[in-house]
A and B are shown apart, each in its own frame.
Chain A
Amino acid sequence: MNATFSGAVRVLVGSSIGKAGLILLGFLVAVSVWVLVTYPLDFGTREWSNPAVWADNPKAVPPTWTNIFPGSDNVAHATLTTSEPYDVRTAGSVTAETYRLPLAHNFDGFPTFISFSLEPVTFQGRPPLITLTLERPDGGTVRLLQHVPSGGRDGETGPFVRYLDNPYRILLSTEETFRSALADYHNERYGTDLGERDLRGFGDQAAFGTPVAGDGAAFEPLQGEYTFVVTATFADENDSMEGAKVVIGGDVFGGMGSDSQGRDLFVGLLFGFPVALFIGLLASTLTTAIGASLGIMSGYLGGWVDTAIQRLADVVANVPLLPILIFMVIVLGSNLLLIILVLVAFSWPGLTILIRSMVLQLRSGQLVEATKALGASQRRVMIRHIFPQTAPYVFAQMIFFTPAAILAEAGLSFLGLGDPSIPTWGQILEQGFRTGAVYVGYWWWVLPPGLLIVLTAMAFVLLALAIEPVLNPRLRTMR
C-alpha cells in the first residue's frame, strides 16, 4: 500500500526486464513520431487505398534483401526518371531533347513488366513527338515506342497541357509497335523468324534477352548495361515536358516486399506504429480513468452509490468482449474511435473492483480521518488524498491493459472489421490471409505485421512484469 509513483518508475528502470521494455517502447515511440511528422494524416484514404499510387510496383513479391540468400538472383525493381537532358539540339523553332536512362541488368532473369509514363506535357500548337529507344548490351538499338499527345480539340486554345490529371502510363508489352520493333530487331540480328504475334506475352523477355536457337519465342537473359533513351521533339521553343519515367518491374521489391496490389508493405507497416500506440494508449487511459474514478467513488462514498457501481461492474465484467465488439462494429459501422470506445466500455470493471477494495482500507486510515477532521470536502479527499495512494496500481493496470487493447483491435481487423480508412497491422495481415498468402508461402506479407503486433504488445507486457514487484512487495524481496 505504501508504493509511490516515483518508486514504481525506479523499480521499472532498475530491473533488466523493465529496461528491455523501456527500450522497446522508446523504439516504438521514436518510429511513431517520425511517421507522424513525415506521413500525411489521411495516408489511409489518399495513398494506401488508392491503386494509382501503387500501379508501378510489382505485385506480391518478396523484399529486395532476400537476394542475399544463396541461390536467389531476382531482378531488382528499378525506377528510372529523367532529370537533366543529356543533349539538346535546336533547328529553327524545333528543339529535340534527349534523356539517357542507364540500367545495369546483371540478373539471371527478366523484368516482370516494363512501364513508361509521362508527366504533364505543354505545347503551343503542334504536339511534340516523344520516342523511347533501348540501347542493348549487344550493341543494338531498338526504337520501342513513338508517342504524340493528342492535339488541340475544337474550340480549345493553346497553350495545351496534357497528362495533368490523367497521367500517361502504358505497359510496353501491351503495345503492338513495341513487339513488332523487337521482332524485327531479333530477326535482323539473330536470324530468327519472329512476328509481332509471336512476342505476345514475351515482349519483356525479347527486350532483355537474346533468342535461344530453335523455334518459337524463347529467350535467355542478356546481362549488361542497358540504356533507355527518351527523346522529345518540340515544335515551339516554349513547349516542354516535365518528365518521363521508365519502370522495370522486379521479382523483389523494397524493404518489406509488396502485396497483391503492389503496395509497398514497408510504407504500410510503418504507418501501423503510431496507430497501434494510439489505440493502446487511448483505450488504456480511458479505461483506467473510468475504472479508477468509479472504484474510488464506490469505495469512498459507499451506500447506494457503492451498490449501484458494484452491480454494474459485476454485470459488465461478465460480458464476453470479442463477440460484443464484433456485434457493435457490424451494427454501428467500422470506425476506429468506436472500436476504442466499445473496448473501454467493457473493460473498466476489473480495476474498479480492485481499487474499491483498496479504498475501503484507506477510508478508515488515519490520513483520511485527519483530512476530514480538517474540513476537507469529499471531492478533495478523494482526489488529493485517496487517488495518489492508488496511483501506482492504476498506472500498472494502464500498462497492463495497453497490449490487451492492441491485440483486441488486431483481432477485429483480422476478421475484416477494421476501420478501412486507417491501415493497421491487423488489416495488412487480414488481406494477406484472405488472398491466400499463407497457403502459397508469401511470408513477407504475414510475418512482419504479426511480429510488430507481438513486439508492441511485448513492450507493455515487459513493463507490466517489471512493475509487478512494486505492487506486490513479497515478490520484490525475492529478487
Chain B
Amino acid sequence: MALVRTLSLRAATLLGVLLTVLVLLVVTLGSTGFSDRILTAVINEEIRALRTAQATQARDTDALEEALEVRRQELIEFYDLDKAWWERMPATVFRVITLDLGEARTLRSSEGSRRVSDIVLERLPNTAILLTTSLVITAVIGLAVGVKMATRVGTRLDRTVSFGAAISFALPAWWTGILLILLLSFQFNILPSGGMFSTPPPEGDIARFFDLLKHAILPIITLVLVSVGPYLYAVRTMTLNVAQEDHVLVARAKGLAESAVMRQHILRVAAPPIVTGLILSLVGSLGGSILVETVFNWNGMGRLYFEAVAGTPDEGLIVALTFIFTLMYVVARFVLEVLYLLLDPRVRYSG
C-alpha cells in the first residue's frame, strides 16, 4: 500500500506542476495585456478582410460601416474581449487541461487541419524518433565507458574522457549542429544539412525510410554528442561511490570474480541513480529539441514551438504547446518515479 501512496503523492505533485504552469502562462498573458492586444489584432484583421470583401458590392458606405461595427461587437463578444482577463482565465485553463487545445491561427497540419491537437500529433512522432534514438545511443555509450572509467580512476583514459565530458557539457547543442552542417554537409557534402526528406522524397517505403535515416544522422549525432559527456561522467561517479562501500569489499574478500562484483554488487546498487540520470538527460533534451530541430529544420515539436513564437505570436498555440511540453516533461518524470520504485527495494518497502 505504501507503494500506491508514494506514487499517488508524486502524481499529485506533478499534476500540481501542470496546473501551476498553466495558471502562470494565462496570468502572464492576461496581466501584461498581451492577450488583449493579440485578440484585438485578430478582430481588426477579420474586420479588415470583411471590409475589403464587401467594399466592391456595397454602395452605401455608412451602412457598410454600421454592419462592420455590429460584426466587431459580435467578435468582441465571441472572443470574450468585453470581459476582463481574469474572467476569461478559468475557461482557458479548463479547456487546455482537458486537452481541448483549440485551433492554430496560421499553422496547419500536412492534411490541412488547423486543430492544435492534430498538428501536435503529427509532429510528436518526429521528435520522438530523434529523442529516443539518441537516448538509446547515449545510454549504451554512457554505461559502457562510464563503468570502464570507474574501474580505472586516475589513469590516462579516465582523465582524457573526463576532459571530453567537460567539453561535451560545455557544447551548446545548436552550435554543435551548425558545426556538423558546416563540416559534413557544406565542406564534404556527405550528409543533408536539414529537413526530414529529400525533395522530392524517394518512391517506396524502404527508400523513404533510408532517406529519413540519412537526414536523421546529423541531428542524432548532435544530441548524442552533447548528452553523452555529462551522462558517462555521472555513471562513473556513481559507480565509483558504490565501489567504495563496505559490502563491495566483503564481496571481493569472499573471492567473487571481479565481473560478478561489478554486476551484482556495484551496478545493481548504482542502478537507480544511473537510470535517473538517463531520464533526466532525456528531459533536458526535450527543451534542447527546440534548438536542434530549428537548426536542422526537423519537423518536430521543437520547431513547431519555434514557428508558433516567431513572427506574430499565436497566443493559443503558445499556451497549448508550453502545456504539452510541460506534460511530456511531467510524464517523463512520473515514469522515472515508477522505475525508481522498481529498481530500489528500499523505497518499495519502507514507503
Contact = CB atoms under 8 A, between A and B. Distances in A.
Contacts of A30: none
A331 B32 contact: yes
A272 B14 CA distance: 39
Contacts of B298: none
A106 B283 CA distance: 57
A456 B59 CA distance: 68
A478 B240 contact: yes
Contact of B166 (A331, A410, A458): A458
A315 B174 contact: no
A72 interface: no
A454 B172 CA distance: 7
A429 B178 contact: yes
A320 B287 contact: yes
Nearest to B19: A315
A461 B174 CA distance: 19
A394 interface: no
Contact of B170 (A17, A326, A461, A478): A461
B172 A453 contact: yes
A457 B241 contact: no
B167 interface: yes
A443 B170 contact: no
A321 B322 CA distance: 10
A450 B305 contact: no
Given A330-B318, A331-B28, A331-B34, A319 B290 contact: no
Interface string A307-329: 00001001100111111101110
B16 A407 contact: no
B64 interface: no
Given A320-B325, A438-B181, A450 B290 contact: no
A438 B182 contact: yes
Q: Chain A binding site: helix, strand, loop or mixed by DSSP?
A: helix
Nearest to A318: B17
Contacts of B17: 314-315, 318-319
A416 interface: yes
A321 B290 CA distance: 12
A433 B170 contact: no
Contacts, number: 144
Interface string B15-41: 011001100110011001010000000
Contacts of B321: 323
A401 to B, nearest CB: 12
A319 B326 contact: yes
B240 A475 contact: yes
Contacts of A465: 162, 166
Given A315-B13, A403-B169, A330 B309 contact: yes
A247 to B, nearest CB: 31
B287 A321 contact: yes
B58 to A, nearest CB: 39
A439 B189 CA distance: 11
A121 to B, nearest CB: 46
Contact of B174 (A324, A403, A411): A411
B182 A332 contact: no
Interface string B167-181: 101111011001101
B29 A320 contact: no
A319 B318 CA distance: 15
Interface in B289-327: 290-291, 294-295, 305-306, 309-310, 313, 318, 321-322, 325-326
Given A319-B326, A453-B172, A478-B153, A415 B21 contact: no
A326 B186 contact: no
B172 A411 contact: yes
Interface residues of B, number: 56
B152 to A, nearest CB: 10
A479 interface: yes
Contacts of B313: 330
B32 A323 contact: no
A152 B273 CA distance: 82
A472 B234 CA distance: 13
A3 B267 CA distance: 28
A462 interface: yes
Nearest to B194: A439
Interface string B318-351: 1001100110011001000000000000000000
B124 to A, nearest CB: 15
A458 B172 CA distance: 11
B281 interface: no
A407 B291 contact: no
A314 B172 contact: no
A474 B244 contact: yes
Interface in A458-479: 458, 461-462, 465, 468, 472, 474-475, 478-479
B286 interface: yes
B187 interface: yes
B175 A454 contact: yes
A441 interface: yes
Given A331-B32, A438-B182, A326 B163 contact: no
Given A438-B178, A443-B182, A475-B240, A322 B288 contact: yes
Contacts of A433: 178, 295
17 contacts: A17-B163, A311-B13, A314-B16, A315-B13, A315-B17, A319-B329, A323-B287, A323-B305, A326-B290, A327-B25, A417-B309, A429-B175, A438-B178, A438-B182, A441-B186, A453-B175, A454-B172
Nearest 6 pairs of A and B residues by beta carbon = A322-B287, A457-B170, A450-B175, A318-B17, A458-B170, A461-B166
Given A319-B329, A453-B172, 15 more contacts: A318-B333, A322-B291, A323-B326, A324-B322, A331-B28, A403-B169, A411-B174, A411-B288, A415-B294, A439-B181, A450-B179, A457-B170, A465-B166, A472-B241, A478-B154
Interface of B: 13-14, 16-17, 20-21, 24-25, 28-29, 32, 34, 153-154, 162-163, 166-167, 169-172, 174-175, 178-179, 181-182, 186-187, 193, 237, 240-241, 244, 283, 286-288, 290-291, 294-295, 305-306, 309-310, 313, 318, 321-322, 325-326, 329-330, 333
